[in-house]
Amino acid sequence: MNQSSPPRHAVVIGGSLAGLLAAAVLAEHATVTVIDADPLPEGPAPRRGLPQARHTHLLWSGGARAIERILPGITDDWTKAGAIRRSLPTDLVTKTAQGWIPRCGEKQFNISCSRDLLDSVVRARVTGLAAVTTLQQSRVRGLEGTAARVTGVRVDTPEEQDRLVTADLVVDASGRGSRARTWLQALGVSGIRQAEVDSGLVYATRIFEAPAGAHEMGFPIVNVQSDPRVPVPGQTATIVPIENGQWQATLSGTRGGQPTGDPDAFIPFAKSVRDPIVGQLLEGRKPLTDVAVTQGTANRRIYFEKAELPDGFFAVGDSVATFNPLYGQGMTVAAQGLLAVRTLLRAKGLAHPGIGREAQRVIAPQVATAWELATSQDILYPGATGMKPRAGTGLLNGYVNRLMTGATTDEALTAALFNVLTMSIEPTHWLRPSVVWHVARASDRGALKAPPLTAAERAVAGLDPAPGTRTGAGNTGPGAGTGAGTGTGAAPTGPASDPVGPADPVGQAR
């Protein structure tokens, strides 16, 4: 904060990940008050305002790097708290629409843990900043100001109704249930357009006790995706090893093929998707929770950046756009957008005229990229509603399908796939001549036919006898020990010589 200028104050509406990161960015320039309707827990604990936290959340390397730049050392804090840094695709067994991805050396990474743990570590760091205070169990009822300038918020606190909290800048990070459009309309702001693509997705999650020894050996994430090219409901099944020796299992289905909260139907659903491996892994495992079900997962985008917003306001995170949670984009989009806002504020300062509108515009590119990736796939499912694909989308989808087919056999295309999916590089990376050359030669010849779990992984999961144990057939079952292009029975570990340099200071390959 520049001590020679008058003291400035910012308000952040919402104390989830996007709001906390916004507060950290703004704390360089002002005192910050984070207002949240819930009490903010001290450690990893559920919050009523974040019901989706019950489901799997993967923080891609593109988002982890952005948060690391905003809060240096946060990756170490996460791992010390129990989160797991996973090399991709080394620590991933995934069947895409085009087939099984080989587990070659590290191209990118993700952070795997419960959303409660992820948020709690960030919350402890941000609320510990001298410039940040919180106003908890308090609900914002509207913006204060005019169509030209927002000057604060009206908030109901436990002690006072309709309290005025003045601010030089108000950031809405209140999430999917944001009322920002209504609040702005009450100030006389019009023309805020909204778009939606809804595949009817429902997802259901249950936590299980992991097999003994699975956590210690670094058991991989296991994921079976749907194929939007086939005109049937899209169904998926995923296991993510998280803290405390637990497996977080999430199922999903689009309209006409949705999972339910019936615990007896959970494993049968997992077995019914394009490969039964997730259901097989869960069979016999001890459930630790009930089945949590979430509906209302439509992709929704509000084009704040195209409206004549009042000065002193911008929105971020799910308040701007929500995405099908299966793509894991939300946290990364918010973090990268706020990193761009930090760059803007360091260049121009909080007092710069129109800084809120400029902040909204610098967030837009990250949102647009994720929006195109998510909606171009979701609109293909039967019964999907909303904005239709732009002209030329079919041609682009055909190219991406070919790239993803090549990613099942060609390590260069595997790298290109994860560079973009983890939001580490822009999708235009896929159109570079070096990538196009590989796409032109893409083939699924020699692709894996079964999940590439190692013999040791299958044994610890109870699918096969332990390595070295004699069996009648003398093998370890289909797909055991397939290293996919490595020529070994175990998946390779450690960073690859990839130009992105994934094994950077944000955690090294384990």
Give mean pLDDT, residues 493-506: 39
pLDDT at 253: 92
> pLDDT tens digits for 198-221?
888 899 999 999 999 999 999 999
The confidence score (pLDDT) of residue 5 equals 62
Give the mean model confidence (pLDDT) for residues 444-460. Answer: 96
Asked whether 238 and 390 are in contact (CB, 8 A), the reply is no
Phi-psi bin for 244: left (phi > 0), alpha (psi -120 to 50), beta? left
Handedness of CA 59, 65, 70, 75 (dihedral sign): positive
Q: Flag whether the pTM goes above 0.85.
A: yes
DSSP 299-316: EEEE-GGGS-PPBTEEE-
DSSP-derived secondary structure for 220-276: PEEEE---TTSSS--EEEEEEEEGGGEEEEEEEE-TTS---S-HHHHHHHHHHSSST
Mean pLDDT of 284-313: 92
| pLDDT tier at 44, thresholds 50, 70, 90 | confident
- Compute the distance between CA of residue 13 and CA of residue 272 in angstroms, rounded to an integer: 42
> Tens of pLDDT along 309-354?
999 999 999 999 988 777 788 899 999 999 999 999 999 999 999 9
Compute the distance between CA of residue 151 and CA of residue 169 in angstroms, rounded to an integer: 7
148-163 confidence digits (pLDDT tens): 999 999 999 999 999 9
Query: Is there a contact between 300 and 195 (Cβ–Cβ < 8 Å)?
Result: yes
User: Nearest to residue 100, comparing CAs of 510, 503, 484, 493?
Assistant: 484
The class of domain 9-57+114-196+298-376 in CATH terms is alpha beta
Quick: pLDDT tens for 119-141: 999 999 999 999 999 999 999 99
Ranges of each domain in the chain: 9-57+114-196+298-376, 202-294
- 109: tokens are 């990474």
pLDDT at 394 (0 to 100):
66
* 293 alpha carbon, distance to own chain's centre: 18
Pairwise CA distance, residues 423 & 458, whole Å: 31
Q: Which own/partner pairs from 393-401 qualify as long-range (CB within 8 Å, at least 24 positions apart)?
A: 399/430, 399/439, 400/430, 401/97, 401/98, 401/229
